Amino acid sequence: MEGFLLEASIYLGAAVLVVPLAMRFGLGSVLGYLAAGILVGPVFGMAGADTADLQHFAEFGVVLMLFLIGLELEPRTLWDMRHRLLGLGGAQVILSAAAIAALAAVAGLAWQVALTLGLILSLSSTAIVLQTLNEKNLMRSSGGRASFSVLLTQDIAVIPMLAFLPLLALPALTGPTADIFGITNPGDQADHSAGSSAEPLMTLVDQLPNWATTLLTLAIVGGIVLAGHFLSRPVFRFVHAARLPEMSTFISLLIVLGIAFLMMLVGLSPALGTFVAGVVLANSEFRHQIEADIKPFKGLLLGLFFMTVGIGIDTRTLFDQPVTILSLTLILIAVKAAVLFAIGFAFRLRRHDLWLFTLGLAQAGEFGFVLISFARQQGILSLNQGQIGLLVISLSMLLTPALFILYEQLARRMRSRTPERAPDQIDEKGRVIVAGIGRFGQVVNRLVRMSGLSTVVLDSDMATIETMRRFGVKGFFGDPANPALLDAAGLQEAAVLVVAVDDSVNATRIVRYARSQRHDIHIVARARDRVHVYELYQAGADDIVRETFDSSIRAGRYVLENMGFTEYEAAKLSQTYFKVDRAAMRDLASLWVPGQPVHLNDAYVARARQLDRDLELALTDELHETNPMAGEDVPAPFIDTAEEDALADPAPRAETA
């Protein structure tokens, strides 16, 4: 017992220490778990004697992951995406696998090993690529959407790969295999024989003819589909009737474990059955509950699986042959990039979208660790081949940030060489200029125009301008932060300027320029938070609207109404809160110091606390005016002003130019 607790503490401690550091440096959690495993095993030699048993247990995390992938893939969504999945994604998997397998065969590997490596290395890192695309706001680009389609196809392709790889391990197909350099490994025979000498699991199909095996397999898969469709609802309703939260977790785990066991009984991969079950349950109303129950176990076991992979990596191979490992990694990236470039060009991706698609998916993926482990168990890959494969996959994933940096350099050069679209010639004048026609600006512009006033709309997104024109709203393309464009839009004649751009720096710059040109123009500006409000006040804005302020007050009013206040009382309290807070904002703006966190500004904090007390008194007085019979038990202010400021400005910010 003591040994188990010590080993568990070592694994958990390594994960807690290394994985957050990997995330902080943008390497992703997968590489973090691998690094933690390498530290525990090869570096410090702290892995226990039961690592193999631990890995078998941790492999269940892969089964849970594939179940959750299936759970997120609604059949209707898959059908709607069939052209991209089968075309773009299918071409990438097939052509990349063929190219890598051909090179491996030329290097002297047996065709079974070459094909296995081709399939494994054709996959990319879903975890790292999707995280990077979201962080860099590239998911909505054409290249980002194409990359997502390919990653989704690859995740689905893992299932048929798991079903196909055992066929390559048939005795009639496998024989003495050379290592990845084309040299026969003396340890292969012993390794393979050792793997084959283990007592196989008895299944229901061991003594059946082939036709009966096929029928039984189809019957079990069909039973899983029918049970998921017809039995899941009554079973979950029965369980939820007990009103015990843990029972929901029990039934979710029972589904996965039971299906995995059934698939093992017919000699198929448990992951195949759980994936099918996940797809079937994707349309269930209990889908989100199942996902919430399974996800913590999946994350824990999958992290443990990647740690055991790291423990099993032979770092001596890397140190003995660093040039070879690095060369194989660069060759892999080059081959996949060439295939991706050709496919992307054929599917009409151009310029920076094409390079995002090419470089973003050129690495190997985390499913490669799963498939290499599976191929080793099936006796397809030798120990040496598996070790080299793990090192190549890890190193290619480690180079992913460098690939995205290369993409950004190429995209920047292409933008610099491409002449920017000239701003539109503004042939209209209006008393109101709306700078920015996003969600905020659209509502303002529509209200003003429907009230019979003319507006001039400016926006730097051509797609947004074209979309608005299709709905009959005329706008002009150009950067509203460009002084020349503001002047052309009639800044000298306009009565009101509405600054509704998303970028807070540009918003402040527009306000400052407009105020420098016109002291009499009324400026209404959109602010992201309190700190931005202070910046806009100092720049010269007249009316400032925080993005979520009005909606938050409305939500607070609904809370008051449901806590016993009448609609009139709640409305009056909300109006008072709005007026007092608006005055407080102007008061605090004079004490705000650019670049200094508000919680370190003593004068600001003292004044904010006093204003909070004034707000509470104002609300109390208002309540007594609207309801003289009200008692003294009056709610405190909705939110502490100083606390809100500290949350809005957690770190120093430089004053914008």
List the CATH number of the domain containing 511: 3.40.50.720
What pTM did the predictor assign?
A: 0.60
Domain end call among 547, 574, 589 = 547
Are 539 and 578 in the same domain?
Answer: no
Domain end call among 26, 46, 66 = 46
Are 40 and 60 in the same domain?
Answer: no
Encode pLDDT of 466-511 as tens digits.
888 888 788 888 889 999 889 888 999 999 999 999 888 999 999 9
pLDDT-derived band of residue 170, with 50, 70 and 90 as boundaries?
very low
* Ramachandran assignment for 351, one of left (phi > 0), alpha (psi -120 to 50 degrees), beta (any other): left
pLDDT for position 184: 37
**Alpha carbons 206 and 468: distance in angstroms, whole number:** 66
User: Percent of the chain at pLDDT above 90?
Assistant: 26
Are 273 and 173 in the same domain?
Answer: yes
Are 317 and 350 in the same domain?
Answer: yes
* Total domain count, the chain: 4
379 within domain boundaries: yes
**Alpha carbons 597 and 600: distance in angstroms, whole number:** 6
**Alpha carbons 410 and 356: distance in angstroms, whole number:** 9
The answer to whether 365 touches 302, Cβ cutoff 8 Å, is no
Closest to 477 measured CA to CA, from 490, 460, 454: 460
Are 287 and 143 in the same domain?
Answer: yes
Are 468 and 355 in the same domain?
Answer: no
**Alpha carbons 407 and 353: distance in angstroms, whole number:** 10
The answer to whether 158 touches 368, Cβ cutoff 8 Å, is no
558 within domain boundaries: no
212 within domain boundaries: no
- Cβ atoms within 10 Å, residue 156: 20
Are 71 and 151 in the same domain?
Answer: yes
Closest to 456 measured CA to CA, from 434, 478, 483, 473: 434
221 within domain boundaries: no
Average pLDDT, integer, range 32-41: 86
Are 433 and 399 in the same domain?
Answer: no
241 within domain boundaries: no
Encode pLDDT of 53-73 as tens digits.
676 677 677 778 778 877 877
- Going 376 to 382 to 385 to 387, the CA torsion angle's sign is positive
Encode pLDDT of 546-582 as tens digits.
888 888 999 999 999 998 888 998 999 999 999 998 8
329 within domain boundaries: yes
Domain that holds residue 434: 427-547
Closest to 108 measured CA to CA, from 185, 43, 34, 207: 185
Q: Does 171 score more than 60 pLDDT? A: no
Reduced to 3 states, what is the DSSP secondary structure of residue 175? coil
Q: Which strands sit side by side in the sheet containing 543-546, from one edge to the other?
A: 476-477, 455-459, 432-435, 496-499, 522-527, 543-546
Are 485 and 503 in the same domain?
Answer: yes
pLDDT-derived band of residue 183, with 50, 70 and 90 as boundaries?
very low
Are 496 and 457 in the same domain?
Answer: yes
- Return the amino acid letter for 168: L
pLDDT for position 197: 40
Map 327-395 to HEC letters: HHHHHHHHHHHHHHHHHHHHCCCCHHHHHHHHHHCCCCCCHHHHHHHHHHHCCCCCHHHHHHHHHHHHH
193 within domain boundaries: no
627, exposed or middle or buried, with CB in 10 Å at 0-12, 13-18, 19+?
A: middle
**Alpha carbons 93 and 98: distance in angstroms, whole number:** 8
- Cβ atoms within 10 Å, residue 620: 16
Closest to 120 measured CA to CA, from 370, 376, 388: 370
Domain end call among 348, 379, 411 = 411
557 within domain boundaries: no
Are 171 and 306 in the same domain?
Answer: yes
Are 279 and 165 in the same domain?
Answer: yes
pLDDT for position 498: 96
